[in-house]
Structure 1
Amino acid sequence: MSKKLDLGVCAITSSGYAVPNMTHPLFVELVLRGGANMIQFRDKTLSDRELYATGVALRAVCSAYNAKLIVNDRVDIALAIGADGVHLGQNDLPVQTARMILGPSKIIGATSNSLQDVLTLNRQNGSDVDYIGFGHLFPTISKEKKDEPKGIKMLKEVCEQSKKPIMAIGGIISENAGAKGVAVISALANSHDPEGETQKLITLSGLVLPSQNADNP
């Protein structure tokens, strides 16, 4: 798999969708049709076997749309399903360890929630991390947050000082602050029209993405 990294819009799967009987594969296909170019597979409720089976299905959908598939937290599942990479939280495996397991060709993203975190990731993990997720930017209902939203001003400062591309997390960006991508969960998972909501998100964020087409990837 190519490691070419166009962050753009990363849609994150959810353990609960607004549309009744929505499945992860259907949600992923809808947001990819809407223009997302990266998927982060995240579901804390599934067993390992269910994660594997669902991940294999998502890999097939992403391949059809020439989109990247990233697995949240789980390096073992990412490796098992042949995903493009993994996104690591601050309590997950160290970035260096994940790189040793996954090898040089896989994408590794890491979460940060302060400028110091970003600078540390740049310095200590510069050769191992491919992008840095920064947030949360705005109030979000995807999970409880104890710290305050960071906002656009802090995002701009982070983007200016980071050598690694920044993916903004936690809210929709409505202005260009220098981020190379935006990761979204609630705005898409809570929508009754994930495809249309993705299209609106791309327009709102001003991101220019490579075209996605299942028939002509």
Structure 2
Amino acid sequence: MNCTEVLPLQGLYVITPQRANKAGAAGDQAAWLARIEAALAGGARWLQYRDKSPDPGQRLADAGMLRALTQRHGAGLIINDDVALAQAVGADGVHLGQEDGSVPEARTLLGPAAIIGVTCHDRIDLALEAAAAGASYVAFGAFFPSRSKPKATLAPLNLLSQARAELDLPICAIGGVNAGNAAELKAAGADLIAVIDAVFTADDPRLTATQLAAIF
């Protein structure tokens, strides 16, 4: 199932955690997949596969398994940075950083229905450029201190309300998001809340995902 035509860009958006064993040992991979599936079962509507591994075979295998999981749970799959990998596994789209290629190039390869997100940090001008280029959504952050990107510049909360006033496309908030602060991001204008640690370091990823998804 391709979710792009039926699944709105709204709700809980989880980003895959790194495995403890970067070599992808079978037991570690099973535990990694189990936590991701728990988050999907808890209500995550979108999943982003983000892995900087230099092993293309491992990345292809991972993405293929995640495509199957998201299809099983009726969620969308986005691939971070890698348009060719998104195309290879039939993902719903790709998320691009500022140095990861252009929206038009990604759209040419993935097609008109593909979801293409763009990282815009704390800058509304980058979001306006992304929107003009045909992005499907823009992502701002970090809004709170983040273990995943500890050096990220913190974005002000009012950036979301400014973006809501100036942009006509979904807005994603990322960076240090948890059950204690997600509601204020939504209230300020976020359509999607992107989460890593708050879900995947929790004792019960499914329960935490359920709590975060309930905000929507």
Shorter-normalised TM range: 0.7 to 0.9
Is 2:146 aligned against 1:143? no
> Which has more helix, going by share of residues?
2
Coordinate RMSD, CA, aligned: 1.7
Q: Classify the secondary structure of the residue corresponding to 1:3.
A: helix
Q: Could you tell me the TM-score, scaled by structure 2's length?
A: 0.86
Deviation at 1:200? 1.9
Alignment of 1:72-87 (within 5 A): 72-87=80-95
* 1:92 aligned to which of 92, 100, 105: 100
How many residue pairs align between the two structures? 199
1:21-40 to 2 correspondences below 5 Å? 21=28, 23-40=31-48
Deviating more after overlay: 69-78 vs 178-187: 178-187
CA distance 1:152–1:146, change in 2 (3 Å): closer
The counterpart of 2:61, out of the listed 40, 47, 53, is 53
Structure 1 unaligned spans of 5+ = 208-217
CA distance in 1, matches of 2:124, 2:196: 23
Q: Counterpart of 1:213?
A: none
Q: CA contact under 8 A between 1:138 and 1:151: conserved in structure 2?
A: no
Do the aligned residues in 1 keep the contact of 2:79 with 2:95 (CA within 8 Å)? Answer: yes
Does structure 2 retain, via aligned residues, the 8 Å contact 1:15–1:45? no
Q: For 2:208, which of 187, 197, 200 is the aligned residue?
A: 197
Check if 1:44 corresponds to 2:49: no
Question: Could you tell me how far apart the structure 2 residues matched to 1:16 and 1:76 are?
Answer: 23
Match for residue 14 of structure 2? Answer: 11
Q: Cα gap change, 1:71/1:156 in structure 2, threshold over 3 Å: closer, same or farther? A: same
Aligned to 2:124: 115
Given that 2:3 and 2:74 are in contact with CA atoms closer than 8 Å, whether structure 1 keeps it comes out as: no
Structure 2 SS opposite 1:105 = coil
Counterpart residue type for residue 177 of structure 1: A
- Partner SS state of residue 151, structure 1: coil
**TM-score of the pair, normalised by structure 1:** 0.85
The CA distance in 2 between the partners of 1:7 and 1:85, in whole Å, is: 15
Identity of aligned residues (%): 36
> Is 1:152 paired with 2:157?
yes
Q: How many Å separate the matches in 1 of 2:69 and 2:172? A: 23
Aligned equivalents of 1:121 and 1:105: distance in 2?
Answer: 16
Inter-partner Cα distance in structure 2 for 1:26 and 1:197: 14
CA contact (8 A) 2:140 2:172 kept: yes
Say which structure, 1 or 2, has more relative contact order (CA 8 Å, 6+ apart).
Answer: 1
Runs of 4+ in 1 over 3 A off after TM superposition: 20-24
How far does the alpha carbon of each residue in 1:58-108 deviate from its partner, in whole angstroms, 9 at most, with x for none?
111110111000001010111101111111111101111111111112111
